Amino acid sequence: MPIRLLVAALLWISVVLCATAAPRAEYKIVTATKTGTYIQIGRDLATLVAEPADIALEVLESKGSAENIQRMRFEQGVKLALVQSDVYQAFLDEAKAGNADAGDIIKPLRLIMPLYDEEIYFVARADSPLNSIHEIKNKKIAVGPLGSGTALTSRTLYQLMFGEPLPPANTQYLSNEEALAKLTVDKSIDVAIIVAGQPAKLFTEMKAEARIYIKLLKLDDTEPESARAKKTYFPAVIRAASYSAWLKNDVPALTVKAYLVTYDYGLQSTVVNLNRFAESLCANFDKLQANGHPKWKQVRLELPPLSQGWRYYAPTEKRMRACIAKRSAVGFSTAGGTALPSPRNCTEQELVLGICRR
């Protein structure tokens, strides 16, 4: 065969192969606000995990974990979500208590893997008489937007510490930026509660002058309120090194776990794509720790036992466990349905979770 005919034939074959190749999967992941840690974690997953797996992963902003669960369940194209452990548990608890909406939403959701701990910041004015977390009882508090994980965390912590619900009259559902403005400019609130993994962009962008206006309340381990809080949340330290421009000393604090969540998909193409994603997550874990957000350094590549009612996504669990075992063998480190309207009034927790049907 003449060379020119051979070249033409090869070109024709390549064109046919490209034309018949399967289209690239286009998925979405819901995270949180643009100044939080979740959105940066989502971007790392998009570039360092999804891209090598031939998945175009669009990173979406949101109000936070409670909204993410809703969108994970119902929004077209959303295949992944970042969710706080206490928010996930709150939906399970609501479902167990008989809330059909919560059950419909949470039961088909599955975990891909636990990620890292998120610090809970209690922010007060610099001149406030408040110094410790247990002193916030009956204060005016900004708890994050409705539908956010921060709002659920704030309410849960208050209930744990003081044995009573957060008073609605003292509660404002605001974004982080709005809360800081109300705290320091209007002075219409006493405390802003913010949940974000350190270093969080919201605080790293603050200048040295920030210490004139705000301070962080500390966890006092000697107080009974702190002991009650630690039944659900975990002690941690907000490090001065994370916010060296304005924070002088380390601050004892609390944390909540972040999860990477998906749905119990059965469609074969989705299963195949999520399996590739899981394999890429394991294979590129070192790159995430080296080049991603600093929080990746706190993630361990492991699938620990889960609390009752929580389940891993079976296809990715199988791939992840096989990859983790292989890494361990060669010496790699693993550190690091339509519901009926409710005939009753909604509780405040249902409003926070976004499952209120008036």
Q: Which residues pair with 222 in a beta bridge?
A: none
3 state SS of 327 = helix
The pLDDT assigned to 340 comes to 36
> Token pair 């009753």 is at which residue?
344
Give me the sign of the Cα torsion angle 267, 278, 55, 195.
positive
Each residue's pLDDT tens digit, 186-214: 999 999 999 998 999 899 989 999 999 99
The pLDDT assigned to 19 comes to 41
Residue 35 Cα distances to 117, 129, 203, 330, 336, angstroms: 17, 28, 9, 38, 23
Q: How many CA atoms lie within 13 A of 328 on its CB side?
A: 11
Angle at the Cα of 109 from the Cα atoms of 107 and 113, rounded to 5 degrees: 135
The pLDDT assigned to 309 comes to 81
**Chain-centre distance of CA 34, in angstroms?**
13
Structure tokens, 219: 């966890």
Say which DSSP state 96 is in.
Answer: H
In this structure, the strands spanning 141-142 and 191-196 are: parallel
3 state SS of 291 = helix
Predicted model pTM: 0.77
3 state SS of 131 = coil
Structure tokens, 251: 């601050």
Amino acid at 220: D
Structure tokens, 139: 């204060």
Say which DSSP state 86 is in.
Answer: H
Q: How many CA atoms lie within 13 A of 177 on its CB side?
A: 8
How many whole angstroms separate alpha carbon 308 and alpha carbon 306? 6
How many whole angstroms separate alpha carbon 56 and alpha carbon 71? 18
Q: Which residues pair with 258 in a beta bridge?
A: 84
Please provide the size of the chain in residues: 358
Scanning 49-191, the segments in alpha helix (DSSP H) are: 65-74, 85-96, 100-106, 149-162, 176-181
SS3 annotation, 227-257: HHHCCCCEEEEECHHHHCCCCCCCEEEEEEE
How many whole angstroms separate alpha carbon 354 and alpha carbon 357? 9
CB 317 within 8 Å of CB 355: no
CB 42 within 8 Å of CB 29: yes
Q: Which residues pair with 257 in a beta bridge?
A: 117
The pLDDT assigned to 343 comes to 46
The pLDDT assigned to 355 comes to 52
Which residues of the chain fall short of a pLDDT of 70?
1-22, 332-358
Q: Could you give phi then psi for residue 44, rounded to 5 degrees?
A: -65, -45
